Amino acid sequence: MGILNDFAKGLKVTLRQIWGERVTAEYPKDMREKPQRFHGRHVLNRYPDGMEKCIGCELCAGACPAHCIYVRGADNPIEAPVSPGERFGFVYEINMLRCIFCALCVEACPTEAITMTHLFEMSTTNREDAIYTKRELLVEPDGTPNHMFPDDSLADVEELRKADGWMRAVAPGGRVAYEGLTPWSESAGVGVRPAEPGQDPLRPIAADLPDFLTIEPASPRSVAEGAGGSEEPTGEEATIVSPDGERSDGPERSGGEDAVPEEES
């Protein structure tokens, strides 16, 4: 009786699952590990010296397929410049109700000013609160990101600190498998965000790179935790290479007060 056999087979499958692994993550008690390139809420970054990375170019607004970004640039005041460029983002608003979290703005940004984080808890009780302005998006000069409702039980500033890997994959001069070299600029609070090995399954970690381009691969632990939260990058051996091949050592770049990061591309 083939059919009885099939019935028994089905019953065996379900019975076996009783001892099987549970797939439920008990949110909010347990947070599931997010992928490296998770597209969460945006933040606007600063350079380590406190300068805003945004130069008010509006490329993000142009790239946005949902038209949810509004940028108005303004000329930098000469005596107290906000950004290292000519202009800076005077108004920067993202309507989170329209945003589709595609990260095209991150790709478009020439200065890596806008990045996405791992934060996804963005519920609001009215529609106006869903329009994020510079007050919420821009990180503090020390790199602390702002949260719209910091007292909310679900507010997780740590998640805001975790930049997703997307920015590093699409950084100017970057590559999809961004491991091995760090062509992206430093940020306030975190310094140079490390590259993670294992992004390119076809390639052994940092094998085909010339010696001067390799850095210490990030430890597996920091891979698991994302871009390392508040921990400092392993910057001693890190070599930063700009697209034209010019070398400069990472720690020196962030050293001086007057160090103005070069505009890339």
Partner 1 sequence: MDFWDYAIIAVRVILAFAIPLVAVIFLVWGERKINADMTNRIGPDRAGPWGILQTVADGLKLFFKEQVTPRKVEFIMYAAAPVIALVPAFMTFLIIPWGQGFTFEIGGKVREFAFVGADLNVGVLFFLAMSSVAVYAVILAGWSSGSKYPLLGGVRGTAQAISYEAAMGLAIVAVVLFASTTSSEGGTLSLVELVERQRGTWDEVVALPGGLAWFENVLGLIPRWNILPQFIAFVIFMIAAVAETNRAPFDLVEAEQELVGGFHTEYSGFRFAMFFLAEYTNMFNMSAMAVVLFFGGWDGPTFERWLPGFFVTMLPLFWFLLKTAVVLFVYIWIRATWPRLRYDQLMTLGWKRLIPAALVWLIASTIVVSIRQFGWPWA
Which of the ranges 7-15, 66-74, 82-90, 225-233 carries the binding residues for partner 1, by CB under 8 A? 7-15
Hey, what amino acid is at 74? A
Tokens of 181: 């070299």
Report the relative pairing of strands 87-95 and 239-241 from DSSP bridges. Answer: unpaired
Which strands, in side-by-side order, build the sheet including 87-95?
Answer: 69-75, 87-95, 131-132
Helix (H, G, I), strand (E, B) or coil at 170: helix
20 near partner 1, rule: CB under 8 A:
yes
Residues 25-64, one symbol each (x = binds partner 1 by CB under 8 A, - = not), give: -x--------------------------------------
Torsion of CA 216, 220, 225, 226, to 10 degrees: 50
Which of the ranges 8-16, 38-46, 54-62, 158-166 carries the binding residues for partner 1, by CB under 8 A? 8-16
22 near partner 1, rule: CB under 8 A:
yes
24 near partner 1, rule: CB under 8 A:
yes
Least separation in angstroms between residue 119's CB and partner 1 is 25
Closer to partner 1 by CB, 13 or 207: give it.
13
14 near partner 1, rule: CB under 8 A:
yes
Angle CA(191)–CA(119)–CA(88) in degrees, nearest 5? 55
Closer to partner 1 by CB, 7 or 97: give it.
7
21 near partner 1, rule: CB under 8 A:
yes
Residues 6+ positions from 29 with CB-CB distance below 8 Å: none
Closer to partner 1 by CB, 2 or 20: give it.
20
Query: Among candidates 256, 259, 186, which has minimal Cα distance to 227?
Result: 186
By CB under 8 A, name the binding residues for partner 1: 7, 10-11, 13-15, 17-18, 20-24, 26
